[in-house]
Structure 1
Amino acid sequence: MTRPRPFSQEWIDYFIPSTVHWDATGFPDISGAVMRNLVRVSADRPYGITDPEVLDVYEGLATYKRMSELRREPIPGNYDLTHLRRIHHHLFQDVYPWAGELRTAPRDWPMVKHGPDVQAYRRGVRNPPEIAHRYFAAKEIRGYGTAVLERMAAKNHLRGLDRETFVDELTKVWARINYVHPFREGNTRAQFAFFTQLSADAGYSFQTARFQPAEANLPHENSLVGDLREQFVWGRFEYMQTGDTTLLRETIDAAVVVASAPPDRTESTPAPSYDLSAVRTATAGHPRPIGRMLSGSTESRGESVEALGPERAPAHDAGYEL
């Protein structure tokens, strides 16, 4: 009988080997690791640059350029998983060797990120703790991602819907595909490009500029937790924690407007527009709980079992049925 690996080697393989350190027990420390990249690759640097700050700046510039190209000339497709992968590849082709490829790790247990305990906030805790939120395991991505987008295709890719129904349906499919989390990195930027294009095709404009962080001293109307960017982040976590899409829907509702003219697929059709700086702020900093990510254990590296919450919280959502 083969014993399970003590950690996800597939996750470690995303990083430059020389930047991964190992503790005395043989467990990898990736707190300072840098992902393999395509920046300044040479014989001496076969895996790209090892400076995380330089890589972050380069990634921002490169994806801004590629997002601008998508604004001028969207990638045609059927709004399926292949189409989403092509968009992700276009955005990150200059940065990562795995651009456009589905996430391969953790293969056998959920990927997790730390984010706010939205349920606690709803109960009146104004400064809620961060808890671990689960995404699908890598081995489940293709099946569930395909199922989510096929359900959208069955609704004619949301074309011909009144605004309220369109916002309802866009919210559901966005929450679901984010929960699948198909890519190792860059999911939010790929989602913004994908759903902005889909919105334009359905006769709506998704205004990404609305996701710029608001001035701290400005009042926010209809805001649960600050500006629209915060609501977007919290809304996705709320869905993952409880299956509730209320906050995410309010966020998307604030960014969707009816296009000035219905799309006719001619040269005069307005292209989708992106504000990349706003998109980047919407990805903001959710530190990965490294022990859980690598080992899949509820007991590992100081994480509490209670913080992980129930398995597959949104599983009641029929959008994932295979």
Structure 2
Amino acid sequence: MESSAATPTRPPHQPAASPSPSPSSLRLWRSAALRNVRNQWSHLHAATEQWLAAAADGRSHASLLVNAHISHRDMPGTDLGVLKDMPGIRDKASSKLALREEQYGDMLLSCYKNMVRALCRLVKASRSMRCFSKVSPNGSVAQFSERQDDLNDLGDGGGAPVFKWFSILEFESLAQELVEMFVSDLKLKRLLVLELLSISFKEGAEHQTSLDWGDELYDGESDELQSIGLQSGETCPLPENWCAYISGSQRPASHPSHEVLQVYLTAWLANVNIKKSRIDAIFELVEEEMKIKLS
């Protein structure tokens, strides 16, 4: 195995390795650590699959939402042929299309919620790889936990390899690389969900208003985003040059054109911030190190 592929760099926010433990302590730590690392990478793999599946379903629902919206928007001028003289046919068709818009919007929002929750699982697993010595009354039995009791114990076995090559810091670095990809793409997905859910509000119904960036898209969204270091409100998780566009006062009042809506769908489908080949490479690298198959 080449060193360039097997030695991830340590993120700046991570502390240096703790002092090397004694050989007997290291053996006990490694036994507990390898079980924990396997479990956390299994969680990472499952959460990644959950996120990608939710994103795929979301794209399908977004496409159905856009098609229903365009048909609903164009209904007043649609040629109904031999049906045009049927009493109330246009209004009935318009009402059904509006209902479909609402249903597809709800389904899209459900997919976005699943993506947020998958990302929460990713972040939790990425932060749970360390294995700390547990202080217990019975000192004859070594115990370990995810909680740090001893400030001198960083839970990394002094930087020793857990399996053959990778230390805890290196496993954390690979996991953080995954997390950063999905965080970045979730920011874009949230913007697209906001825009797609808002197109129905732009029909001009007096009792409705357009969604703003600071609004929760579903109950509890803010708490879930805050748990992974993001917020849906004042702390905007998007690049600054996007923030002006999505603020309620500067977003265009007119309907997005058919071409713009297709761009939204294409951006969703592309998962532009997700490098699937790199994700596959990371899991292959970890599987090779641990000698197990995660899928």
Q: Same fold (TM over 0.5)?
A: no
Judging by fraction of residues, say which structure has more helix: 2
- The answer to which structure, 1 or 2, has the higher relative contact order (CA under 8 A, 6+ apart) is 2
Judging by fraction of residues, say which structure has more strand: 1
